Amino acid sequence: MPIVDPRTGEPLSSPQVSPQEASTQPAADAAPLRAEDVIIELDASNIQQVLEASMQVPVLLDCWAPWCEPCKTLMPILEKLAIEYNGAFLLAKLDVEANPEISSQLGVRSVPDVKLVSQGGLVDSFQGALPEKQIREWLARYFPAPEDVPPSPEDQAAEALAAGDAATAREIYQQLVVQYPEHYAYQVALARALVAGGLTEDARSLLDNLPPEEREAPAARGVRASIAFGEQALSHAEIDAMQGRDDSEAQFQRALRQVADGDYEAGLESLLTLMKQDRGYNDDAARKMLLQVFDALGADHPLTVTYRRKLFTMMY
């Protein structure tokens, strides 16, 4: 069924499906649509047509206000996604200040407020200026992801960090922190990049300024652990100098370095192996370090759960 432009009543060029059908039907091959084909300004003159259009193609309703700074961050992302999804949904932008009656009818209480409407009814919604990656994940519940999507900033930062380019990761996360100051996961990720770049005091200061509940969350605790373990661990050069050694001291120091670098699974596995081989090493140092890592990660962390079980099995 073709999309009908709610402004003109004319069919658009790309046949689409509803959210309920999108997960089971492949995306249709179609020429790219223009911004004006998939993005409209919603007001009293066309709201009825938009609701009628939602019977044929889902409508993503972006409720915003001119004075709302988060709205200004969110809107360009939604516009980009609307074009990228090439007609899988229409993006209708509602200025709630200019259209208070419509806003009230839609139950908008704060902005930004994004609603997915299909078949004339509300399917789902989210509030606040979510980061692009989270919006993509939200859309993925209802629409097949478009092809050839460029890596998200989060993915680019993670790849840079994994490649040892802490400076690039730090720059990306700093931009994300500015864009989304209340998305504290970015501040924790920035702290991790700072630690990777040797800027541990900056990382500690950043973590100290998080809200209390975020400071004590597993992700932040993990970065603090990296800082603490990094202060205890030998440098990478010193670890490299141990190449060829397989005694208990060398194994312990390698494990500590892995934990300090944030490679917790490898570090925990190395510590558990050392316990099996030499339980008495340095007054049971491997077991004590395992417990410190568990405490740092938090009791509910998947690695804590897994390796507590392995530790219990080995000991009893």
Q: Rounded to whole angstroms, how far apart are CA atoms 231 and 17?
A: 56
Total Cβ atoms within 10 A of residue 265: 13
Q: In the annotation, is 63 catalytic?
A: no
**Cβ atoms 80, 68 nearer than 8 A:** no
Q: Rounded to whole angstroms, how far apart are CA atoms 236 and 234?
A: 7
Catalytic residue among 27, 71, 81, 157: 71
**Cβ atoms 57, 46 nearer than 8 A:** no
**Cβ atoms 116, 57 nearer than 8 A:** no
Catalytic residue among 38, 68, 203, 223: 68
Among residues 168, 161, 157, 153, which one has the least CA distance to residue 73?
153
Bridge pairing between strands 121-127 and 113-118: antiparallel
Q: In the annotation, is 68 catalytic?
A: yes
Residue with tokens 């990306």: 172
Helix axes 132-139, 69-84, angle to 10 degrees: 50
Catalytic residues: 68, 71
